[in-house]
């Protein structure tokens, strides 16, 4: 990044975080010890949807923008694996219902090869981080509890229970009504069914009951006892836990979905606890008094997704619909406060996304000119979108629509490359890097045609024409065939040949084009005709026209 101030959203956030830290002695001390920690968290309760992936990419980009600005920054993602299993999961056997109320980290994995339920669902996503270009340090909230990292905050919160009750009453009109701590029952291991009713501050133990009817979704065993709240004796309720994470981990930046940032919502409660009980400044975009703004939802076909309800497209499944670099580009170029809606079955969503990516790529390599301000913006978008190293030169570009035609004409890679040579998209011998780039584009085009593309993009090249042509059109077709055998044309020349021949014959281009598509693919429409003929090969097209 040069010395000029960037207007790219992540650079602006990096600047705001640094300014916030510089004017706060507590944060300055933490940053000196631990660096700038950009934080996010997720409960591994089941298939994690792509909406969470938006947050991960946002935080990854912010951390990278900070590092570009010379800040010692990292993105830390925590698995909230000590949260209780509180809803039956439709993807696993009903036999798992016996674990309702237990921490996810203590429940066996539904799939062999993983230590727990939590690890399986969390790694389902984090194992794909390299593919998405996400650089994150992954940790376990449950391990932090059991290692004692939360102990100091737990003590402060229990010692100030009266303040917690007042905060809840202020926001919700009634106090929490119990101690802000959920012990883990020593008898049944459940953490969602325990009611902590007394804090013995001298002995530092919590008295609790594991109640059979405390919640509707799990049944407590009835055990009554007392337990130290430290080193994994239980956990804080979520809003208090969120506040406790900030000083415990040393968080200076943490966004979340806008639903958490509603007035009087979970972020409001958490920053009040951080301010009034833990005396710690909440991370950007919040202050001690203001929540700031969360990021907008990522919807698929207009539908909001839910992990607990099993709704929507999973983060790990999204690459079945869109390559990782395209998804990253979609999220990087969209400001966090703007909603993202993507429908993999909507041709415009996919085709336009590819076209915009290619344009940004051309701008980055200065193959397309913009004013300086817009150039810098597109340049930053491309830098944060590319997964791995940015190529030194502009790769051969083929649109998704054109790529989809190629793979239906020539499914094998070697044959596809010959078409690209014929159409002038590549020349000479492209290096491995560009062959790989083209292979990825052609590979997704094939996947798109097979699974997602509407019928208008699909065709089957005819070996023998089934077209019924009137004599005038047949004569025109034969004339075109003769011209195709005379010389090899480039695309502009091919367009001129087609339109000039129509003009000479007095036949409307629309009728001629319809006849050509009928002969070649037995449809009334198809890909742009000039490049389509070049893709098939002029001689082969001429043979098909002669046989019509």
- For residue range 337-378, what is the model confidence (pLDDT) as tens digits? 999 988 888 888 999 999 999 999 999 999 999 999 999 999
Please answer whether residues 340 and 360 qualify as being in contact, where contact means their C-beta atoms are separated by less than 8 angstroms.
Answer: no
Q: How far apart are CA 232 and CA 82, in angstroms?
A: 9
- 110 versus 311: the higher-pLDDT residue is 110
d(CA 431, CA 418): 15
pLDDT score of 304:
54
- Alpha-carbon gap, residue 330 to 185, rounded angstroms: 45
3-state secondary structure of 68: helix
Confidence of residue 406 (pLDDT cuts 50, 70, 90): very high
Is residue 240 within 8 A of residue 257, CB to CB? The reply is no
CA gap 388, 393 in Å, rounded: 15
What is the distance between the alpha carbons of residues 100 and 119, in angstroms, rounded to a whole number?
17
For the chain, domain boundaries: 1-150+238-387, 175-235, 400-457, 471-546
Query: What's the average model confidence in pLDDT over 310-330?
Result: 83
Topology adopted by domain 471-546: Arc Repressor Mutant, subunit A (1.10.10)
The CATH architecture of the domain made up of 1-150+238-387 is: 3-Layer(aba) Sandwich (3.40)
- pLDDT, position 267: 97
Q: Report the alpha-carbon distance of residue 220 to residue 188 in Å, rounded.
A: 8
The mean pLDDT of 321-330, rounded to a whole number, is 92
- What average pLDDT does the chain have? 93
pLDDT at 302: 67
Is 312 a residue whose pLDDT tops 80? no
Distance CA 285, CA 456 (A): 46
User: Residue 310 has what pLDDT?
Assistant: 38
- The two tokens of residue 56 are 């991960």
What's 388's DSSP letter?
A: S
HEC sequence for 197-257: EEEECCCCEEEEEECCCCCCCCCCCCCEEEECCCCCCEECCHHHHHHHHHHHHHEEECCCE
Helix (H, G, I), strand (E, B) or coil at 178: coil
Model confidence band, residue 465 (pLDDT cutoffs 50, 70, 90): confident
Task: Give the confidence band of 291 by pLDDT, cuts at 50, 70, 90.
Answer: very high
138 three-state secondary structure: strand
Look at residue 171 and give its three-state secondary structure. helix
Task: Give the range among 63-67, 70-74, 300-304, 381-385 with minimum mean pLDDT.
Answer: 300-304
- Residue 217 pLDDT: 96
In the chain, the largest separation of any two C-alpha atoms, in whole Å, equals: 103
Give the mean pLDDT of 41-45.
Answer: 96
């Amino acid at each position: 990044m040069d010395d000029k101030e960037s207007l790219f959203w992540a650079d602006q956030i990096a600047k705001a975080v640094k300014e916030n830290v510089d004017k706060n002695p507590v944060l300055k001390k933490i940053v000196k010890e631990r660096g700038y920690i950009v934080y996010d968290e997720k409960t591994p309760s089941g298939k994690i949807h792509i909406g969470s992936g938006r947050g991960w990419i946002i935080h990854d980009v912010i951390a990278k923008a900070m590092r570009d600005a010379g800040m010692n920054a990292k993105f830390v993602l925590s698995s909230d694996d000590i949260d209780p299993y509180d809803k039956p999961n439709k993807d696993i056997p009903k036999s798992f219902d016996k674990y309702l109320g237990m921490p996810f980290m203590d429940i066996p994995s539904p799939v062999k090869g993983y230590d727990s339920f939590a690890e399986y669902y969390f790694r389902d996503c984090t194992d794909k981080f390299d593919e998405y270009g996400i650089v994150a340090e992954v940790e376990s909230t449950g391990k932090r509890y059991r290692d004692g990292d939360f102990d100091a905050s737990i003590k402060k919160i229990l010692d100030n229970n009266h303040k917690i009750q007042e905060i809840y009453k202020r926001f919700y009109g009634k106090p929490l009504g119990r101690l802000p701590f959920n012990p883990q029952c020593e008898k049944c291991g459940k953490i969602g069914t325990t009611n902590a009713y007394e804090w013995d501050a001298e002995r530092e133990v919590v008295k609790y009951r594991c109640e059979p009817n405390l919640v509707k979704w799990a049944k407590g065993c009835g055990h009554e006892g007392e337990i130290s709240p430290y080193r994994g004796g239980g956990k804080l309720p979520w809003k208090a836990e969120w506040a406790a994470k900030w000083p415990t981990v040393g968080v200076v930046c943490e966004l979340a979905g806008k639903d958490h940032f509603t007035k009087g919502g979970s972020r409001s409660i958490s920053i009040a606890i951080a301010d009034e009980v833990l005396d710690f400044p909440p991370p950007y975009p919040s202050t001690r008094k203001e929540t700031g703004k969360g990021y907008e939802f990522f919807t698929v076909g207009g539908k909001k997704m839910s992990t607990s309800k099993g709704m929507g497209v999973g983060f790990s499944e999204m690459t079945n619909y869109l390559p990782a670099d395209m998804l990253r580009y979609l999220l990087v170029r969209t400001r966090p406060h703007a909603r993202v809606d993507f429908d993999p079955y909507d041709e415009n969503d996919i085709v336009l996304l590819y076209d915009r990516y290619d344009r940004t790529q051309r701008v980055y390599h200065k193959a397309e000119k913009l004013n300086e301000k817009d150039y810098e913006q597109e340049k930053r978008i491309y830098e944060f979108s590319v997964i791995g190293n940015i190529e030194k030169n502009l790769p051969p570009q083929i649109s998704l629509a054109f790529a989809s035609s190629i793979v239906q004409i020539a499914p094998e890679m070697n044959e596809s490359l010959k078409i690209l040579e014929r159409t002038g998209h590549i020349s000479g011998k492209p290096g491995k890097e560009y062959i790989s780039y083209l292979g990825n584009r052609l590979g997704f085009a094939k996947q798109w045609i097979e699974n997602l593309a509407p019928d208008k993009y699909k065709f089957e090249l005819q070996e023998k024409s089934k077209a019924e042509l009137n004599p005038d059109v047949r004569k025109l077709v034969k004339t075109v065939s003769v011209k195709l055998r005379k010389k090899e044309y480039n695309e502009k020349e091919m367009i001129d040949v087609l339109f000039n021949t129509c003009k000479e014959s007095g036949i409307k281009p629309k009728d001629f084009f319809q006849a050509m598509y009928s002969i070649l693919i037995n449809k009334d429409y198809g890909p742009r005709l000039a490049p389509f003929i070049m893709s098939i090969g002029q001689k082969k097209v001429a043979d098909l026209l002669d046989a019509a």
